[in-house]
Amino acid sequence: MSREDVICACRHVTKGEVRDAMKAGADCFKDVRKATGAGGKCGKCKKKIKKYMDRHRDADP
């Protein structure tokens, strides 16, 4: 898995950007959407982003 992987196609947001938003304090999907714009269009990526966040929440920054 790479930081460059696009997690939200509509807004072209990468996993790395989601990760950075989490490091900056985002801890729910809404926060990530606010910080990156991800999920703000079709919403199809919402599940993917939530899963990704769950997987990385406890990982070291």
Residues 39 and 13: their CA atoms lie apart, in Å, by 9
Build a one-symbol-per-residue string for 21-60: x at contacts with ligand FES by CB under 6 A, - elsewhere.
-----------------xxxxxxxx---------------
Does the protein bind ligand FES through residue 18 (CB under 6 A)?
Answer: no
Among the listed ranges 8-16, 23-31, 50-58, the one in contact with ligand FES (CB under 6 A) is: 8-16
Residues 32 and 30: their CA atoms lie apart, in Å, by 5
Does the protein bind ligand FES through residue 8 (CB under 6 A)?
Answer: yes
Residues 27 and 12: their CA atoms lie apart, in Å, by 20
